[in-house]
Amino acid sequence: MMDKYQLYERSVQSPSAHLSCFLSIYQDIYHSEPRRLREDFCGTFILSCAWVKRSPRNYAWVVDLDPEPLEYGKKNHWQHLSQPEQKRLSILKRDVLLTTQAKVDLVVACNFSFFIFKERKILLQYFSSCLKSLRNQGVLILEMAGGPGMITSTREQKTVKDQEKFVYIWDQKSFDPITHDAKYSIHFKLANGTQLKNAFNYHWRLWTIPEVRDLLEEAGFKRSIVYWESTLNGEGTGEYVSMEQGDNAYSWIAYIVGVP
Protein backbone atom coordinates (compact mmCIF):
# COMPACT_ATOMS: atom_id res chain seq x y z
CA MET A 1 0.00 0.00 0.00
CA MET A 2 1.19 3.50 -0.75
CA ASP A 3 2.59 5.43 2.19
CA LYS A 4 0.84 8.68 3.19
CA TYR A 5 4.02 10.61 2.37
CA GLN A 6 4.14 9.12 -1.11
CA LEU A 7 0.48 10.06 -1.62
CA TYR A 8 1.19 13.59 -0.37
CA GLU A 9 4.18 14.05 -2.66
CA ARG A 10 2.29 12.81 -5.69
CA SER A 11 -0.71 15.04 -4.91
CA VAL A 12 0.82 18.37 -3.98
CA GLN A 13 4.53 18.52 -4.67
CA SER A 14 6.25 19.48 -7.88
CA PRO A 15 9.96 20.00 -7.11
CA SER A 16 10.93 21.09 -10.62
CA ALA A 17 8.18 23.75 -10.76
CA HIS A 18 9.14 25.05 -7.30
CA LEU A 19 12.85 25.13 -8.11
CA SER A 20 12.30 26.93 -11.44
CA CYS A 21 10.20 29.51 -9.65
CA PHE A 22 12.85 30.05 -6.92
CA LEU A 23 15.65 30.31 -9.49
CA SER A 24 13.76 32.87 -11.52
CA ILE A 25 13.02 34.95 -8.38
CA TYR A 26 16.70 34.86 -7.37
CA GLN A 27 17.80 35.70 -10.91
CA ASP A 28 15.35 38.60 -10.98
CA ILE A 29 16.83 40.06 -7.78
CA TYR A 30 20.57 39.31 -8.09
CA HIS A 31 21.10 38.39 -11.78
CA SER A 32 23.02 35.31 -10.67
CA GLU A 33 22.40 31.72 -9.61
CA PRO A 34 21.97 30.59 -6.01
CA ARG A 35 23.95 27.56 -4.88
CA ARG A 36 23.13 27.07 -1.22
CA LEU A 37 19.52 26.22 -0.34
CA ARG A 38 17.91 25.72 3.06
CA GLU A 39 14.54 24.01 2.92
CA ASP A 40 12.57 24.74 6.10
CA PHE A 41 9.61 22.55 7.16
CA CYS A 42 11.16 20.15 4.67
CA GLY A 43 9.09 17.03 5.43
CA THR A 44 10.46 14.37 3.07
CA PHE A 45 12.82 16.93 1.43
CA ILE A 46 12.10 15.83 -2.12
CA LEU A 47 12.81 19.42 -3.22
CA SER A 48 16.35 19.48 -1.81
CA CYS A 49 17.16 16.07 -3.27
CA ALA A 50 16.21 17.48 -6.68
CA TRP A 51 18.34 20.55 -5.90
CA VAL A 52 21.60 18.67 -5.21
CA LYS A 53 20.97 16.49 -8.27
CA ARG A 54 20.66 19.54 -10.52
CA SER A 55 24.30 20.61 -10.25
CA PRO A 56 27.51 19.48 -8.52
CA ARG A 57 27.77 23.07 -7.26
CA ASN A 58 24.45 22.92 -5.37
CA TYR A 59 24.29 22.37 -1.59
CA ALA A 60 21.22 21.87 0.59
CA TRP A 61 20.33 21.94 4.28
CA VAL A 62 16.94 20.51 5.18
CA VAL A 63 15.19 21.26 8.47
CA ASP A 64 12.25 19.53 10.13
CA LEU A 65 11.31 18.66 13.71
CA ASP A 66 9.57 15.39 12.92
CA PRO A 67 11.76 12.28 12.49
CA GLU A 68 9.03 10.39 10.58
CA PRO A 69 8.99 12.36 7.29
CA LEU A 70 12.77 12.79 7.55
CA GLU A 71 13.16 9.02 7.74
CA TYR A 72 10.85 8.58 4.74
CA GLY A 73 12.93 11.11 2.79
CA LYS A 74 16.16 9.34 3.71
CA LYS A 75 14.89 5.94 2.57
CA ASN A 76 13.03 7.03 -0.52
CA HIS A 77 15.01 9.99 -1.91
CA TRP A 78 18.36 10.49 -0.19
CA GLN A 79 19.36 6.84 -0.55
CA HIS A 80 18.90 7.05 -4.32
CA LEU A 81 21.32 9.96 -4.62
CA SER A 82 24.94 9.37 -5.61
CA GLN A 83 27.52 9.60 -2.81
CA PRO A 84 28.74 13.09 -3.81
CA GLU A 85 25.11 14.27 -3.96
CA GLN A 86 24.42 12.81 -0.52
CA LYS A 87 27.45 14.67 0.86
CA ARG A 88 26.06 17.95 -0.41
CA LEU A 89 22.80 17.53 1.52
CA SER A 90 22.67 17.96 5.32
CA ILE A 91 19.66 16.70 7.25
CA LEU A 92 18.86 18.69 10.39
CA LYS A 93 16.23 17.36 12.79
CA ARG A 94 15.51 20.56 14.64
CA ASP A 95 13.25 23.56 15.06
CA VAL A 96 13.34 26.08 12.20
CA LEU A 97 13.29 28.82 14.84
CA LEU A 98 16.95 28.07 15.53
CA THR A 99 19.55 29.79 13.38
CA THR A 100 21.65 27.42 11.28
CA GLN A 101 25.41 27.90 11.19
CA ALA A 102 25.59 27.42 7.45
CA LYS A 103 24.86 30.66 5.60
CA VAL A 104 22.75 30.15 2.53
CA ASP A 105 21.54 31.98 -0.59
CA LEU A 106 17.96 30.78 -0.29
CA VAL A 107 15.78 29.88 2.67
CA VAL A 108 12.46 28.51 1.43
CA ALA A 109 9.30 27.66 3.35
CA CYS A 110 6.94 25.89 0.94
CA ASN A 111 3.27 25.05 1.05
CA PHE A 112 2.34 27.71 3.63
CA SER A 113 4.14 25.79 6.38
CA PHE A 114 5.08 28.90 8.34
CA PHE A 115 1.34 29.43 9.01
CA ILE A 116 1.96 27.01 11.91
CA PHE A 117 3.37 29.99 13.85
CA LYS A 118 0.26 31.72 15.14
CA GLU A 119 1.84 34.33 17.37
CA ARG A 120 3.32 37.52 15.98
CA LYS A 121 6.37 37.35 18.24
CA ILE A 122 7.14 33.77 17.17
CA LEU A 123 6.83 34.58 13.47
CA LEU A 124 9.10 37.56 14.06
CA GLN A 125 11.59 35.25 15.78
CA TYR A 126 11.46 32.92 12.77
CA PHE A 127 12.11 35.73 10.29
CA SER A 128 14.96 37.14 12.43
CA SER A 129 16.54 33.74 12.66
CA CYS A 130 16.25 33.24 8.86
CA LEU A 131 17.91 36.61 8.28
CA LYS A 132 20.90 35.53 10.39
CA SER A 133 21.31 32.41 8.23
CA LEU A 134 21.32 34.30 4.92
CA ARG A 135 24.35 35.43 2.98
CA ASN A 136 24.50 39.08 1.89
CA GLN A 137 23.04 38.10 -1.46
CA GLY A 138 20.38 35.87 0.05
CA VAL A 139 16.60 35.68 0.04
CA LEU A 140 13.89 34.21 2.21
CA ILE A 141 11.05 32.86 0.07
CA LEU A 142 7.72 32.27 1.80
CA GLU A 143 4.97 30.49 -0.08
CA MET A 144 1.58 31.87 0.97
CA ALA A 145 -2.02 31.16 0.05
CA GLY A 146 -5.18 33.18 0.62
CA GLY A 147 -8.38 34.61 -0.78
CA PRO A 148 -12.02 33.73 -0.02
CA GLY A 149 -11.41 30.29 -1.50
CA MET A 150 -9.08 29.47 1.40
CA ILE A 151 -11.61 30.33 4.11
CA THR A 152 -14.92 28.86 2.97
CA SER A 153 -15.77 25.45 4.43
CA THR A 154 -15.40 23.20 1.45
CA ARG A 155 -13.87 19.97 0.17
CA GLU A 156 -12.03 19.76 -3.08
CA GLN A 157 -10.95 16.53 -4.61
CA LYS A 158 -8.82 15.46 -7.52
CA THR A 159 -7.92 12.09 -8.97
CA VAL A 160 -4.19 11.54 -9.27
CA LYS A 161 -3.63 9.30 -12.24
CA ASP A 162 0.07 8.86 -12.93
CA GLN A 163 1.11 5.35 -11.78
CA GLU A 164 -1.42 3.91 -9.30
CA LYS A 165 -4.67 5.92 -9.29
CA PHE A 166 -6.02 7.50 -6.07
CA VAL A 167 -8.17 10.42 -4.90
CA TYR A 168 -6.74 13.37 -2.97
CA ILE A 169 -9.18 15.40 -0.86
CA TRP A 170 -8.42 18.87 0.52
CA ASP A 171 -10.84 19.55 3.37
CA GLN A 172 -11.27 23.11 4.65
CA LYS A 173 -12.78 22.46 8.07
CA SER A 174 -13.02 25.83 9.75
CA PHE A 175 -11.97 29.45 9.74
CA ASP A 176 -12.28 31.98 12.55
CA PRO A 177 -12.48 35.58 11.26
CA ILE A 178 -11.44 36.98 14.65
CA THR A 179 -8.22 35.00 15.15
CA HIS A 180 -7.68 33.88 11.53
CA ASP A 181 -7.19 30.37 12.90
CA ALA A 182 -7.94 27.88 10.15
CA LYS A 183 -8.14 24.09 10.14
CA TYR A 184 -7.50 21.94 7.09
CA SER A 185 -7.06 18.22 6.51
CA ILE A 186 -5.96 15.98 3.70
CA HIS A 187 -7.70 12.64 3.11
CA PHE A 188 -6.92 9.99 0.51
CA LYS A 189 -9.08 7.30 -1.13
CA LEU A 190 -7.18 4.47 -2.73
CA ALA A 191 -8.28 2.44 -5.74
CA ASN A 192 -8.85 -0.65 -3.54
CA GLY A 193 -11.38 1.28 -1.43
CA THR A 194 -9.02 1.99 1.50
CA GLN A 195 -9.54 5.45 2.98
CA LEU A 196 -6.89 7.43 4.80
CA LYS A 197 -8.96 9.99 6.68
CA ASN A 198 -7.12 12.96 8.22
CA ALA A 199 -3.79 11.71 6.91
CA PHE A 200 -2.47 15.25 7.39
CA ASN A 201 -3.98 17.94 9.61
CA TYR A 202 -3.07 21.60 9.68
CA HIS A 203 -3.93 24.09 12.41
CA TRP A 204 -2.76 27.36 10.96
CA ARG A 205 -3.14 31.06 11.26
CA LEU A 206 -4.02 32.50 7.87
CA TRP A 207 -1.58 35.41 7.82
CA THR A 208 -2.16 38.25 5.35
CA ILE A 209 0.51 39.56 2.99
CA PRO A 210 0.75 43.03 4.62
CA GLU A 211 1.16 41.44 8.07
CA VAL A 212 3.99 39.27 6.77
CA ARG A 213 5.70 42.16 5.00
CA ASP A 214 5.51 44.30 8.16
CA LEU A 215 7.08 41.49 10.18
CA LEU A 216 9.86 41.00 7.61
CA GLU A 217 10.68 44.68 7.90
CA GLU A 218 10.59 44.50 11.70
CA ALA A 219 12.93 41.51 11.59
CA GLY A 220 15.47 43.61 9.68
CA PHE A 221 14.93 42.70 6.03
CA LYS A 222 15.71 45.76 3.89
CA ARG A 223 12.79 45.10 1.56
CA SER A 224 10.17 42.57 0.67
CA ILE A 225 8.87 41.72 -2.77
CA VAL A 226 5.60 40.01 -3.62
CA TYR A 227 5.65 37.60 -6.55
CA TRP A 228 2.07 37.25 -7.76
CA GLU A 229 0.84 34.89 -10.45
CA SER A 230 0.42 36.60 -13.80
CA THR A 231 -2.81 36.01 -15.71
CA LEU A 232 -3.70 35.69 -19.38
CA ASN A 233 -7.38 36.04 -20.36
CA GLY A 234 -8.32 35.66 -16.69
CA GLU A 235 -6.38 32.39 -16.28
CA GLY A 236 -3.26 31.94 -14.13
CA THR A 237 -0.12 31.30 -16.20
CA GLY A 238 1.92 29.57 -13.49
CA GLU A 239 4.47 32.40 -13.76
CA TYR A 240 5.11 34.73 -10.87
CA VAL A 241 6.07 38.37 -11.30
CA SER A 242 6.83 41.09 -8.76
CA MET A 243 3.77 43.26 -8.18
CA GLU A 244 2.64 45.86 -5.70
CA GLN A 245 -1.06 45.37 -6.47
CA GLY A 246 -2.83 42.07 -7.10
CA ASP A 247 -6.12 41.04 -8.65
CA ASN A 248 -8.80 40.00 -6.17
CA ALA A 249 -8.50 36.28 -6.93
CA TYR A 250 -10.92 33.82 -5.29
CA SER A 251 -7.92 31.84 -4.11
CA TRP A 252 -4.30 32.61 -4.73
CA ILE A 253 -0.76 31.41 -4.09
CA ALA A 254 2.01 34.00 -3.87
CA TYR A 255 5.69 34.15 -2.91
CA ILE A 256 6.69 36.78 -0.39
CA VAL A 257 10.40 37.39 -0.59
CA GLY A 258 12.50 38.95 2.16
CA VAL A 259 15.67 40.65 0.88
CA PRO A 260 18.41 41.40 3.48
Ligand X SMILES: C[S@@+](CC[C@H](N)C(=O)[O-])C[C@H]1O[C@@H](n2cnc3c(N)ncnc32)[C@H](O)[C@@H]1O
> Which spans of this chain sit near ligand X (rule: CB under 6 A)?
12-13, 41-43, 63-66, 69, 95-97, 110-111, 113, 116
Q: Which is nearer to ligand X, 199 or 243 (CB)?
A: 199
CA–CA distance, 102 with 227 (Å, rounded to integer)? 26
CA–CA distance, 15 with 164 (Å, rounded to integer)? 20
Residue 4 beta carbon to ligand X: minimum distance, rounded to whole angstroms: 12
Residue 31 beta carbon to ligand X: minimum distance, rounded to whole angstroms: 27
Q: Which is nearer to ligand X, 66 or 247 (CB)?
A: 66
Residue 24 beta carbon to ligand X: minimum distance, rounded to whole angstroms: 18
Question: Cβ atoms within 10 A of the Cβ of 154, count?
Answer: 11
Q: Which is nearer to ligand X, 41 or 207 (CB)?
A: 41
Residue 37 beta carbon to ligand X: minimum distance, rounded to whole angstroms: 12
CA proximity to 114, closest of 39, 188, 61, 175: 39
Q: Which is nearer to ligand X, 63 or 107 (CB)?
A: 63
198-204 contacts, C-beta under 8 A, 24 or more apart: 199/4, 199/7, 199/8, 200/4, 200/8, 202/115, 202/116, 203/116, 204/112, 204/115, 204/116, 204/118
Residue 161 beta carbon to ligand X: minimum distance, rounded to whole angstroms: 20
Residue whose CB is nearest to ligand X in the complex, by number:
43
Q: Which is nearer to ligand X, 13 or 243 (CB)?
A: 13
Q: Phi and psi for 220 in degrees, rounded to 5?
A: 110, 5
Residue 47 beta carbon to ligand X: minimum distance, rounded to whole angstroms: 7
Taking a C-beta distance cutoff of 8 angstroms, is the pair 23, 46 a contact? no
- What HEC string does 90-136 produce? EEEECCCCCCCCCCEEEEEECCCHHHHCCCHHHHHHHHHHHHHCEEE
Most distant pair of Cα atoms in the chain: their distance: 53
Q: Which is nearer to ligand X, 18 or 213 (CB)?
A: 18
